[in-house]
Structure 1
Amino acid sequence: MATAVVNGIRMHYRRIGEGSPIVLLHGWPQTGYAWRHVADDLAADHTVIVPDLRGYGRSDKPAGGMDKGTMAADLSALLRELGFERIAVAGHDRGGRVAHRWALDHPAEVSRLALLDIAPKPALAQMNREDAAQSWHWWFHRQRDLPELLVGADIPAYLNFFYQSMSHNRDAITPDAVDEYVRAFSRPGALRCGFDDYRADVIDDVRDEADAAAGRKPEMPMLVLWGEQGALASSSLLSNWQRHAHDVRGQAIADSGHFLPEEAPEGVARELRAFFG
């Protein structure tokens, strides 16, 4: 485990293995710990870097900067701090949004881009009633102060709701992992930063819409993975991403819901290994 000072914050990260570099970005409500099984697999052939994103885990929890542009700038600075010029990037959930922004803002740094179980932002405008009902927490998390007040009363119950309701293999996120995440989100400022991640969508939406209007798309090869048993399995996820990038392939991961790196680590590692080379 290590800590680097990047873009004005202290970022905690894990670095293992040797070879061409890969960075793995987690989502909410998790930390870099979510990638532990996949990271250990990939480390046989790659240098694998697994950070806790700004506001999460053991990384600093500043009063601002939870927009994806700033979070991507954190990672760009971490890349330089570690002495790499280009890196393959995989992001799950909110980490996928950060990865996508990194690819747009710093394209020379991202050699290949993998996004796990996340839809492109412009596609949100096409949400139907069922989609909105499944994504109710997006709107709840955007409220000011209220989520911290209510969730802070019982953090384990709130987090466990998502681990159970959004997974297919409900035993995949083990009690030890739940304890790790509960500790992480019980740290001072952690709930606020996690919800600020969603509140920053107001900023991110403007940039995403401007990029779409200008025709800006990631230029590097891109892989989209989703859980075969997850909420996105019945959507046109791949075709949506193909409209927002130049070179996109995709694959469902069997026996998995939303939390692919923990529900199906072998399948995820296999697809990432094949894509990243």
Structure 2
Amino acid sequence: MPSIALSELTMHYERRGKGPLLVLLHGWPQTSACWRKLLPALAEHYDVVAPDLRGYGHTDKVVGDYRKRRMAQDVVELVHALGHDTMRLVGHDRGARVAHRLALDHGAMVSHLTLLDIAPTLHTMHQGGPRAAKGYWHWLFHEQPDLPERLAGADVAGYLGYFFERWAVERAALDDAIPHYVEAFSRPGALRAGFDDYRATDGDLADDLADAEAGRILDLPVQVLWGEHGLPRGDVVAAWKPFAPRAFGEAIPGCGHFIAEEKPETLVRHLLAYLAA
């Protein structure tokens, strides 16, 4: 797995194929390994780059800024260092929040944007209600200082395993990668860095509110896909419309949160159809 020194950290990434650049951004509690089932098919058409985001996997566990604006800047620096100025961009979970911010701040670089199994951060945090609290309890827990490291660190496999069990429908599809994820989050600083991603929420919301007040939106067609039994509920495309008026997409039947692992063939089909447009 190659690495490259950026302005604030050394980032590791997977790279395969040739052609236009396609960047894949993973979420929590995963690493770039979540794309393993898609890489062969996508690499037939694209120069596919899948980094471990700031604080994840083999990338440095820096102490500092985990706002999505900073994490997006890491990806921009990586793309430039690899000799590209534009990209097709796909993000899942936390990586989709980074991708959303990157497309807002560096719109000229992004020709296509796919967001997997999330609703917008501002929408998610403001919709409220018992169902939202039940579905996103972990988000607020991960924001607490020190406590999640203490509790999750006592049993990393048990803590991560809870989410893989509860958020997946095709659970066996993750079996080959779960030991890797557990090992990755057992490294020094890894749990703290992953929780710092969530602790950046106040800053992320401030950035999102500033965009809303300024009327900043995504003006490209944004592909939104989510698991039928994934984390967001209701009309996910409608949730994205105020932020990306040309958003389109659909639920993936029989799928939970981990679309790239649970339904890789279906996801590849949707991606190739959109990315070629």
- Shift, 1:253, TM fit: 1.2
Question: What is the match of residue 211 of structure 2?
Answer: 211
Q: Which runs of 5+ in 1 are unaligned?
A: none
Question: What is the match of residue 259 of structure 1?
Answer: 258
* CA–CA distance in structure 2, aligned partners of residues 52 and 94 of structure 1: 12
* CA–CA distance in structure 2, aligned partners of residues 6 and 47 of structure 1: 20
- In angstroms, what is the RMSD of aligned CA positions? 1.0
* CA–CA distance in structure 1, aligned partners of residues 36 and 211 of structure 2: 33
Is the partner of 1:192 in helix, strand or coil? helix
* CA–CA distance in structure 2, aligned partners of residues 45 and 5 of structure 1: 27
- Shift, 1:126, TM fit: 1.4
* CA–CA distance in structure 2, aligned partners of residues 39 and 140 of structure 1: 33
Question: What is the match of residue 144 of structure 1?
Answer: 145
Is the partner of 1:37 in helix, strand or coil? coil
Question: What is the match of residue 177 of structure 1?
Answer: 177
Is the Cα contact below 8 Å between 1:61 and 1:193 reproduced in 2?
yes
Question: What is the match of residue 153 of structure 1?
Answer: 154
Q: Which residue type is aligned with residue 115 of structure 2?
A: L
Q: How does 1:32-47 map to 2 (within 5 A)?
A: 32-47=32-47
Is the Cα contact below 8 Å between 1:12 and 1:58 reproduced in 2?
yes
Q: Deviations over 1:133-182 (max 9, x none)?
A: 111101100000000011000000000000000111111111x3111001
* CA–CA distance in structure 2, aligned partners of residues 254 and 44 of structure 1: 26
Is the partner of 2:75 in helix, strand or coil? helix
Q: How does 1:229-244 map to 2 (within 5 A)?
A: 229-232=229-232, 234-244=233-243
Is the Cα contact below 8 Å between 1:7 and 1:73 reproduced in 2?
no
* CA–CA distance in structure 2, aligned partners of residues 52 and 231 of structure 1: 22
- Shift, 1:214, TM fit: 1.2
* CA–CA distance in structure 1, aligned partners of residues 155 and 118 of structure 2: 27
Runs of 4+ in 1 over 6 A off after TM superposition: none
- Shift, 1:228, TM fit: 1.4
Q: Which residue type is aligned with residue 238 of structure 1?
A: V
* CA–CA distance in structure 2, aligned partners of residues 231 and 77 of structure 1: 30
Is the Cα contact below 8 Å between 1:86 and 1:109 reproduced in 2?
yes
Aligned residues: 275
Is the partner of 2:104 in helix, strand or coil? helix
* CA–CA distance in structure 2, aligned partners of residues 187 and 138 of structure 1: 21
Q: TM-score, normalised by structure 1?
A: 0.97
* CA–CA distance in structure 2, aligned partners of residues 6 and 113 of structure 1: 24
Q: Which runs of 5+ in 2 are unaligned?
A: none
Question: What is the match of residue 10 of structure 1?
Answer: 10
Is the Cα contact below 8 Å between 2:119 and 2:236 reproduced in 1?
yes
* CA–CA distance in structure 2, aligned partners of residues 98 and 235 of structure 1: 23
Pair 1:108 & 2:115 matched:
no
